Structure 1
Amino acid sequence: MGDGWSRRGGWDMPVPPPFRRFGFPDQVRRFMEGEWDTGSLRVEEYREGDTLIVRAELPGIDPEKDVDVSVRDGELNIRAERQENAENTTKDGYHSEFRYGSFSRTVQLPRGARQEDIKASYRDGVLEIRVPAAAEGGPGPTKINVSRD
């Protein structure tokens, strides 16, 4: 690994000196290896009988403050915001790190989804939303509360 980041002997990107001190090559490596938060939530969707289940990875958040789940125009909207601060003071100095980001995902609901019966829960870093389906759905936005299991 010279001046730039090289993935398995592939391309080598020159990094100007001002960016080297900010860890730019490491940031590029993290992005290319999928470790960088891109603003999109990772979700899985599956059916369990007449219920659509949507699960989203959201570790390290407070679901009551940092998550917004709503339904509008036949779409399930999930928004979350994470903010982490770490400070370490020793006799040799002070070190501070922070990590933050906003994430969102929209999932098309099945025809006949019953908005009023949608349930959301959060457990062990995973948000689970259960969407029952029926013959018809109702129009208009609906706010869904997230409970802690």
Structure 2
Amino acid sequence: MSDLLRWSPFERRSPFELMEPFRRLFEGESEKSMIRVEEEVKDDVLTVRAELPGIDPEKDVDVSVSEGQLHIRAERREKTEQKDKGSYRSEFRYGSFFRSVPLPKGVKDEDIKATYKDGVLEVTAPVPQAAVETSPQKIQITRG
């Protein structure tokens, strides 16, 4: 009889592997669909950095702008295999990730630039200086 027919889920598995389904249940998968970002405005430039390790930016990442929002979408496909004497374990993970970040008023779509290096997507956009606020002006009311 082959090992495939006598396989038991409790043989040759670490306690961490056995706890994985419970971790997913309690942590929730929705957090994994969010891209972690860092936002900073410095010297009139908005910089958004997004963690996207192990992703090919040319094939798996889409950056777009609509209705004053910066949208980052990514897709990941992973496959892990573990081969031991008399056993084989394979796991596939697929997932889509997204994040929307509000842009400051006045940012022009054509000025937005994106680069990818060492697992970090960096999107920069010049932020127009805010209009100088003048002191409130009293308007005279006349009776008509």
Whether these two folds match at TM > 0.5 is yes
Counterpart of 1:113 in structure 2: which amino acid? V
**Alignment length, in residue pairs?**
116
Query: What displacement does 1:121 show?
Result: 0.8
Contact 2:115–2:122, Cα closer than 8 Å, also in 1 = yes
**What is the rounded CA distance, in whole Å, between the counterparts of 1:98 and 1:31 in structure 2?**
18
The CA distance in 2 between the partners of 1:135 and 1:114, in whole Å, is 13
Q: Structure 1 residues 98, 124: CA separation in 2 closer, same or farther (over 3 Å shift)?
A: same
Which one of 99, 102, 112 corresponds to residue 105 of structure 1?
99
2:14 counterpart residue number: none
Q: Give 5+ residue unaligned stretches, structure 1.
A: 1-19, 137-149
TM-fit CA distance, 1:80? 0.4
Distance apart, 1:104 and its partner CA: 0.4
1:86 aligns with 2:80: yes
Q: Is the 8 A contact 1:30 1:36 kept in 2?
A: no
**Could you tell me the TM-score, scaled by structure 1's length?**
0.66
Over residues 67-103 of structure 1, what are the superposed CA-to-partner deviations in whole Å (9 max), with x where a residue is unaligned?
0000011110000011111234455233211122111
Alignment map for 1:131-142 (pairs within 5 Å): 131-134=125-128
Match of residue 125 from structure 1: 119
Residue of structure 1 aligned with 2:62, choices 42, 59, 68:
68
Distance change (3 Å), C-alpha of 1:52 and 1:42: same
Note closer, same or farther for the CA distance 1:116–1:42 as it changes in structure 2 (3 Å cut).
Answer: same
TM-score with structure 2 setting the length: 0.68
Aligned AA (1:46): E
Show the counterpart of 1:47: 41
Are the structure 2 counterparts of residues 29 and 88 from structure 1 closer, same or farther at C-alpha, using a change threshold of 3 Å? closer
Name the structure where helix makes up a greater proportion of residues: 2
Q: Which runs of 5+ in 2 are unaligned?
A: 1-8, 11-16, 131-144
User: Larger Rg: 1 or 2?
Assistant: 2
SS of the residue aligned with 1:38? helix
Q: After TM superposition, give the deviation of residue 30 of structure 1 in Å.
A: 5.2
